[in-house]
């Protein structure tokens, strides 16, 4: 099966004043569908920059990204925006919820951009919230939800778009161990049940045992590529 995401010789640098910092250094990797792939490493190692480039939010200085068979570097800005709308979902550390909206409204809001009617959007939102275990909490606003529940609303919002590519940037860093476990298990289940490509970046070592594949990064390079479940069986 062809990889859902291909990074081919990616390099990226940032310049601050007269200082140039190389963040990614000729990095290549392929990411499969129906798996939760974790990119781990210390802060500043380049993992969030890699996620931004693979998701089309940031352009590399060199190299290319092939996502679902498309070379993102060849897409015009409007085409890239359309690709992200149709095929990608995002989950961030900060939840990014609107205080005045309840959970159903939070999840349904982006679906209008996909052309769904209000009724269809709300139905899909309710289904997504039920899938992440929030069927009984879907009419609550963020102030009435715990941190873990807020993150699951954010996951449901991404899931409701039915994305083939789901990107999560430090999704558990603001959560305690129990809620972090629920969130990573939810992302893992989405990968399997929906055959989605789930790419998660985190410096949280608790997540390693729950990923199908772990890419360890340091200084803009991938140092190791392993499958914890296979190691545990041996």
Tracing tokens 């979902």 back to the chain, one arrives at 89
Strand (E) or helix (H) holding 166: strand 165-169
Q: Which fold has domain 5-233?
A: Rossmann fold (3.40.50)
Q: Which residue has tokens 């190299």?
A: 63
Q: Is 231 exposed, middle or buried (0-12, 13-18, 19+ CB in 10 A)?
A: exposed
Helix (H), strand (E) at residue 92:
strand 88-92
CB 197 within 8 A of CB 4: yes
Q: Give the separation between CA 31 and CA 112, rounded to whole angstroms.
A: 30
**Whether residue 68 has pLDDT greater than 60:** yes
Region 119-131 average pLDDT = 96
pLDDT digits (tens, 9 = 90+) for 1-42: 579 999 999 999 999 888 999 999 999 999 999 999 999 998
Q: What is the predicted pLDDT for the residue at 232?
A: 45
Q: Note the pLDDT tens digit of each residue in 51-67.
A: 999 999 999 999 999 99
pTM for the model: 0.92
Half-sphere exposure of 55 (CA within 13 A, CB side): 24
């Amino acid at each position: 099966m062809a990889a859902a995401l291909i990074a081919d010789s990616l390099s990226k640098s940032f310049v601050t004043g007269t200082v140039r910092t190389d963040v990614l250094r000729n990095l290549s990797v392929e990411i499969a569908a129906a798996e939760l792939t974790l990119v781990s490493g210390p802060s500043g190692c380049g993992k969030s920059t890699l996620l931004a480039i693979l998701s089309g939010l940031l352009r590399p200085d060199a190299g290319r990204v092939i996502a679902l068979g498309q070379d993102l570097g060849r897409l015009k800005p409007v085409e890239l925006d359309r690709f992200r709308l149709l095929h990608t979902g995002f989950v961030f550390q900060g939840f990014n919820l609107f205080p005045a909206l309840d959970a159903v409204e939070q999840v349904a809001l982006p679906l209008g951009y996909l052309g769904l009617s209000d009724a269809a959007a709300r139905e899909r939102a309710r289904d997504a919230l039920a899938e992440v275990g929030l069927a009984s909490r879907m009419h609550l606003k963020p102030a009435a939800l715990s941190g873990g529940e807020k993150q699951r609303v954010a996951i449901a919002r991404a899931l409701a778009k039915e994305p083939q590519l789901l990107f999560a940037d430090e999704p558990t860093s603001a959560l305690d161990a129990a809620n972090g476990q629920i969130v990573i298990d939810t992302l893992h289940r989405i990968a399997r049940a929906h055959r989605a490509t789930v790419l998660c970046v985190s410096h949280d070592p608790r997540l390693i045992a729950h990923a199908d594949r772990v890419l360890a990064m340091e200084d803009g390079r991938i140092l190791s590529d392993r499958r914890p479940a296979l190691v545990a069986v041996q």
